[in-house]
Structure 1
Amino acid sequence: MHIKQLVFKKYRVTLKPITPIHVWSGVKFRMWIDLIVKHEKVCLVDTENFPVEVVKALISSKLEDIPHVMSKYIDTIPCKLEIPSISVPKMWSEVLELNKYVVPGSSLKGYIRTALLYTMLSSLGTTDAIRDTLRKGIDLGKEPKNMSQGLEAGFFRTPQPVKQKGFVDAFQELIVSDPVVEAEQTCYSLRELLVYEIPLMKQIASQYAITFDCGKLIYDIKLLEPPIRDLSALSPVDREHHNVLNKLSLLLRVDLIDALRAFGCNTIEKELNKII
């Protein structure tokens, strides 16, 4: 069966930055090795198209002399990308590369998961009910990335039938594409990101990074049709699969757009309240 026949709902989501965005690609650049200042902009050098004379000069140079070679041949060095620099890093400074998708589809899917979790917790009503659920679902003894596994399992996962192994997850039914990035080169910049401790607003760290400041990220989101939507139609033999089918149809019973709107607005409000 073609995937188009399995799609129950489709969304086209466009994200626009309201502040500079940085999601690290995992690559670190070095100033005056990978990046140079050229024409009052920062140039990401195109090493694949270096002139032969530059290649020969670099090969015969020591590591510490490379910045001087780059400076000498600066007018002939090609750029993959030229971006404005809010602040120019010193020689040898590390600069974090921006993910080519800016915010990958997997990151947006994780954000949707968190937004829906927020919505479902909020629907519990009383503060005591929410607190009890959090206490049962969060294990502070685990690593931070694994603390909420119990909480997520309670809302989104259920075990397979006895003869099968593992779990099913409601988000198996959600497919989020990597985005189409629509942006001019002027939408990228190199800036120093500062980390502050609040409420004292004491600077505790800084890092140079390439950021995404304007433009659009366009995603396709598909919600797949669950195997069975009307659980009352299950035969007695199939009823052991009730929990599985119920969990797989979870996303059909919520409004993802409302969940994203509520969570996003709440997050922005909370962050602003920390510094205002």
Structure 2
Amino acid sequence: MNDINILEYLGIFAFAASGAHIAIEEKFDLFGIYILATVTAMGGGVLRDIVTNVGIPLFFENYKTIPFIILGATIPIILRGKLKYNTMFVTIDAIGLSAFSVSSGIKALESDYNLMLFLFATSITGVGGGVLRDIITNRKPEIFKTDVYCIACILGSLLLWFLYPLLGTHISQHISLIAIFSIRMICYRTKWLRHAPSDKFLIIKAKTIEIAFSLWFSYHNLYFFPYTPSYSFGLIVPPHFSHEKQGGSSMLL
């Protein structure tokens, strides 16, 4: 058992506890609490295996996770009303998110997934269980409302994608692991993006994403992508446009 596997089991425990905690808040019975804990802990991995068509999901072939799910679900039941969403809980949860994302990312790279499928596999493994939990309890998924959660997973996964061919499995997976954990915890501690962002921030974020994808496609010489980055004022300008019209006026906004 390597260190990533150990962190995965810790993550399973944390996700199961969060599922049980929500189930208790929603006044589920005992059976419902354990079911929701299981869905939260393993739902993302099951979704990943179904979409990527690997056959029977790994959860149904590996029984080592069940004790951690039972333990994670039992503690909130025992500490009913006393267990709160605090820094320790978030820390354990961030470790699980990091481990789930990185381990699924390594498997995706070894299976020669393309970028989109790679990002799907890493993201859905990390956040899929929580989304299913919120859907079952008729809540708006937390990843779409507050906190930097899926974003941390995507950024760390992209880092793994670029570093894997350069540094190999061992170094790249640990750098990615630290990156996801750090982004999640720093944003939680500083309360960054825990409220609805301003219009100005959304514009900056959209431009940043646009530039990132333009650089990515340019890097792979995918000429069908119609935009390339222009560093004048951070704008994206079609390559076949000149900076000036024939009449002499500027094409830049």
* TM-score using structure 1 length: 0.25
The structure whose Rg is larger is 1
Larger proportion of helix: 2
Q: TM-score, normalised by structure 2?
A: 0.27
Greater strand share, 1 or 2? 1
- Of structures 1 and 2, the one with the larger relative CO (CA 8 A, separation 6+) is 1
